[in-house]
Structure 1
Amino acid sequence: MQMIIVDDEAHWVDNLSMHKPWHTLGIEHVHKAYSAHEALQIIDTHPIDIVISDILMPEMTGIELIERIRKHDKRIKCIILSGHSDFEFAKKAVQHKAVDYLLKPPTDNELFDAVKTAIEQLNMEWETISSLERTQYTLRENLPLLRGQLLLDALRGHRMPADELSRKLESYGLPFHYGDCSLLLVRMEEEFGQYRNNGQPLIEYAIINMAEEIMGEFMEVWGVKEEHGYLVFLLQFKEDGSEIGKETILEKLSSQLQYKVKQFLKGSLSIVITEWFQFPEQLSERFRQASSYFRQIVGDEREFVMRVSDHEHTPTQGPLSALYVPPSLINLLEAGRWDTAEEKLLAVCEELDDKWSESWEHCMEAGFLISASFTHLAHRNGHTLVSLLGTDIEPLQSGDAFSSISKLRTWSLGVLGKLKDGTSNEIKDIRSLYVKQIQEFTDKNLHLDVSLRVLADHVNLHPTHLSKIYKIETGEGISDYVAHLRMDRACHKLKTTNKKIYEISLEIGYMDPAYFIKVFKRQFGVTPQEYRDSNK
């Protein structure tokens, strides 16, 4: 857990943060803030759990600080320290759900007991949020989506370890096991076109429900809509079901589904049924086979129930599996997952070597898709592939990059390395630009609000993200930069102008001159007036 101590009296902050054994309570880091505004900036950029704050501070009171915190995070626990036993202050602290209201100076026991109470409340709240019961409820609420995505991934050829698949099937309430399954592909015909812009998902949901109702007596049914518009059902006979005539039963139930949809939803279906196959090993292969059968055999025919058998579809050629198994190369490049992208390229070339070493077309197929993915990434980042690759574009232009598997491997891995280096340099340039914009804005607007939130809005970034970028590029936090800039400018004005202390305070962003004097003295060991006098 992380905690912050807020007080305009520096000795309180330093003493409480540095000389108490907070680690014994599980507090990993204690932040220090000498004003409420500074505290809000730290809370914006760090996962603060507990706030210990003085109640009377210039610019913003401890109660006002809690109000600001509550607008963005209702779970942070706040403890108030006060030099006054004022009932109204205590009442307001309770209204804002402060954990405790302690009088200065608190004893170690009082302070530790208050922090322990805050930790207990946090633990109880997060245990409730992450409880098994709540997790199971959320899982039930999202089951249709989770089940559908799991089946889609399997249809696309995504492989997962057997124990992980078994665990997910059990968690999602899918009583499927390894063994014989069949696929049912359903195409909704033109009568359903009227719902395309209004109500299509409801119609699809209704058909899936009808299929589960009609077939559920004999078999387990797992349905989803896939990306080409087919409704796909994975079917597996229940263990107590009859093994005799299951093809006949399946065709009869498919015809019944067709009839009921026509009767109640006023639209027709065409259905393709696969042979029985081993789940999950052959699932994606049989899905591709059934999809191809729909295109090549069924075509424009309507209201058919057809079975696709192994001998009807035995092509001498086939697609490259590794090239299309998700995640796609484009997605990996866009996400900057360079190592995984390299593994995918190597897997594609390995498959070419193993299965299609004599097929120039397969090598060309892989080359076109790989080069298209590289080009997409370049264009997405505002470049051309030519500008990024230089002379490495020539094998692509001449077609030599695809002339052999060996050349494809060498060229694609080399280009991937160049794209990775170019992207890294681009990220550095963008970060430097953000730093420059922040420093220029702060320099011009130091007398105004230059909090982290305002600076982040100026460059359209999240405060946490901006804070990390700035730290990476400069080695210091934004709040440190602003504080140093204010002190440097104060010193310059004290030495070169006759402006009053309060005027200088306002010009560098301190609304309270007394607070400016306190910060200045903490920084330089002398007051602003003493500094001015010594530099005359």
Structure 2
Amino acid sequence: MTTLLLVDDEPIAIDYLADLICEQADVEAEVMKAYSGAEACRRMEDVRIDVLVTDIRMPGMSGIELAERVRARWPRCRVVFLTGHGDFGYAQTAIRQGGTDYVLKTEGDDTIFAAIRKALRDLAQELDREDILDRARAQLQEALPALRRDYLLQLAEGAADAGETRARRFEELAISLDAAGTVTLAFGRIDDWGPFASASARALLPFAIHNIAEECLSPSLRIATLAVSRDRFLWLAQARGTAGLPAAEDRTPRTLASEAEHVQQSCARLLKASISLAVASRPVSWTELPDRLERLKLQLAGSVGHAAELLMLAQDEERTERARTSREYSAESELRAGLRKLDLLESYLDNGEKEAAVLLFKSLTDAADALTGSARGESVRCELFATLSAFLLGYANKRQLSAPADSPFPSELVANLGAHADTGSGIRYLAKIGESLAEYNGRKQTERANDLIGTLHRYIHEFIGEELSLTRLSEIVHLSSFYLSRMYKQTTGQGLLEYITEVRIQRAKLLLKSTDLKIHEIASQIGFDSPAYFTRLFKRETSTTPQEYRES
């Protein structure tokens, strides 16, 4: 919400101007008032000031001095000076010192509104300037290596992008690999850090290995090298000039294995460090990438002995898959892709997004059901139960969900697979618990929102005659004014300031019917400094003036 601060040592003038601004439908701003420079300084300490409209000549602190202080605190603030005829030269000096505009008080309301609208437009357009976009483009270029790594790692860990989407992302991130072709993997580890063993030097070695790999591999291969963890890395390679070549004729694996030996030797000679590598025996499609990566990890970890500088061409994955059906293969891949989305599940539960949680759990339970009937499938299903159990226990403990009586979390059943008839029943039970947590959090969020709105309504009714700005109300409930305004509208379907106006009009009707108070006294009691503005607003809302309403 944009904040407009009006400052003048004449209360009648500033109250009148504030009322008129509030009537302007195209001026979307919260209007605040101050009757001296000192009061304005106090207000600006805790509230961002976007536009300052101030008289130049005021006792104590001049408008120019006030503008300097406000812009020192809020540099983007636009300033409109209100001046008299005798202050023309003074105003020009103010403009040169950074003011946005100045208006002669005798020029009328329309001129003042035009200056305020111009200040608001300038403020809105500032973020659209070309230099902002240029800086963003430069920052994007600097971030491209990290963005490329993150995206390729997501693909390697199971993020499924359609071919067209993948091709578009490759182009956006300037990834030199073919998004439609096959890719050969090599998975490596650092065995001996050599002179890079100290904590301060460890960050350098992965970059040095990356540079050596790029230099050795890039003449014959298109290559992307990614750090997977502190001491693990992944290479993705495609042969140059082999687009459309059948996988059986693609010599990339042999080329990659041969060049990998060169990289090993260069690391030992130049860096005094040793690395081990497992190279896939055949290229795979991008959708097969996650499964092949897991198999390379297992084969490197299960290699014979513990010698450093191991280089192995991984077994033919086809032979290791003979005992598995395509249905089991697909189900396990789907299950592991779902497990990699548990960080999303945490946000679904926190935000009370039950539908999204249900879809994620359904993909996991469907995959688990498809793995029924084999020893390996049962082992993977047990892994799924254990992973979900640990996730849900950790989630509940961090958020202290086990203590409340209404919390949907029986820890003893979540942790114990033996408490269920079989593994499938246990997995489905955990899914139901996760769904109930999402529903529970959604209900609690609604209750908290309703409690907060109830607090606001009680405060508004009790202090209807006092300042009820968004800034003041946001302090009552400890939220930002922008978030409070949006949350209130989303929850009630009505703007907060509209509700305040509605309450004030209803209170005015009651006082007009049941008391002999004068119109200006009623206006003061319900929070209007200007009786004229109260009369205009009352007529706009009820199609009758306060006096006409009383007489009716």
TM-score between the two structures when normalised by the length of structure 2? 0.70
What residue identity is the alignment partner of 2:361?
L
Change (3 A) 1:265 1:87: farther
What residue identity is the alignment partner of 1:4?
L
> 2:440 — aligned with what?
421
Secondary structure of 1:297 counterpart: coil
2:348 equivalent to 1:346: no
2:290 equivalent to 1:284: yes
2:213 equivalent to 1:211: yes
Q: Distance in 1 between matches of 2:443 and 2:62?
A: 45
Report if aligned partners of 1:289, 1:313 keep a CA contact under 8 Å in 2: no
Report if aligned partners of 2:79, 2:100 keep a CA contact under 8 Å in 1: yes
What residue identity is the alignment partner of 1:18?
E
Q: Deviations over 1:333-356 (max 9, x none)?
A: 356544322221111011112333
2:18 equivalent to 1:13: yes
Report if aligned partners of 1:51, 1:78 keep a CA contact under 8 Å in 2: yes
2:281 equivalent to 1:303: no
Q: Distance in 2 between matches of 1:340 and 1:277?
A: 35
> 2:169 — aligned with what?
168
Number of residue pairs aligned between Structure 1 and Structure 2: 476
2:392 equivalent to 1:374: yes
Change (3 A) 1:249 1:362: closer
> 1:528 — aligned with what?
none
Report if aligned partners of 2:351, 2:441 keep a CA contact under 8 Å in 1: no
Q: Distance in 2 between matches of 1:260 and 1:148?
A: 24
Deviation at 1:66, TM superposition (A): 3.6
Deviation at 1:155, TM superposition (A): 1.4
Consecutive unaligned residues in structure 2, runs of 5 or more = 463-468, 505-523, 532-552
**In the alignment, which of 188, 195, 212 is matched to residue 186 of structure 1?**
188
Change (3 A) 1:199 1:407: closer
Q: Deviations over 1:214-237 (max 9, x none)?
A: 111112111111137311111111
> 2:516 — aligned with what?
none
Deviation at 1:370, TM superposition (A): 2.0
Secondary structure of 1:4 counterpart: strand
Deviation at 1:367, TM superposition (A): 2.4
2:275 equivalent to 1:269: yes
What residue identity is the alignment partner of 1:234?
L
> 2:550 — aligned with what?
none
Secondary structure of 1:200 counterpart: coil
> 2:30 — aligned with what?
31
Provide the aligned C-alpha RMSD in A. Answer: 4.8
Secondary structure of 2:106 counterpart: coil
**In the alignment, which of 236, 241, 251 is matched to residue 239 of structure 1?**
241
Report if aligned partners of 1:388, 1:422 keep a CA contact under 8 Å in 2: no
Deviation at 1:213, TM superposition (A): 1.4
> 1:321 — aligned with what?
336
- Residue pairs, 1:384-533, within 5 angstroms: 384=402, 389=407, 392=410, 395-396=413-414, 397=416, 399-401=418-420, 403-405=422-424, 408-410=427-429, 412-418=431-437, 420-422=439-441, 424-425=443-444, 428=447, 522=528
Q: Distance in 2 between matches of 1:229 and 1:332?
A: 32
Deviation at 1:279, TM superposition (A): 3.4
Consecutive unaligned residues in structure 1, runs of 5 or more = 444-449, 485-517, 526-536
What residue identity is the alignment partner of 1:325?
R
> 2:260 — aligned with what?
254
Q: Distance in 2 between matches of 1:66 and 1:347?
A: 59
Q: Deviations over 1:277-325 (max 9, x none)?
A: 3331111111111111111125622112111122464375875324423
Change (3 A) 1:401 1:206: same
Q: Distance in 1 between matches of 2:485 and 2:121?
A: 30
Change (3 A) 1:451 1:298: farther
Q: Deviations over 1:157-177 (max 9, x none)?
A: 112233332222112111222
2:141 equivalent to 1:140: yes
What residue identity is the alignment partner of 2:207?
Y
Deviation at 1:250, TM superposition (A): 1.9
Q: Distance in 1 between matches of 2:291 and 2:527?
A: 75
Q: Distance in 2 between matches of 1:130 and 1:215?
A: 39
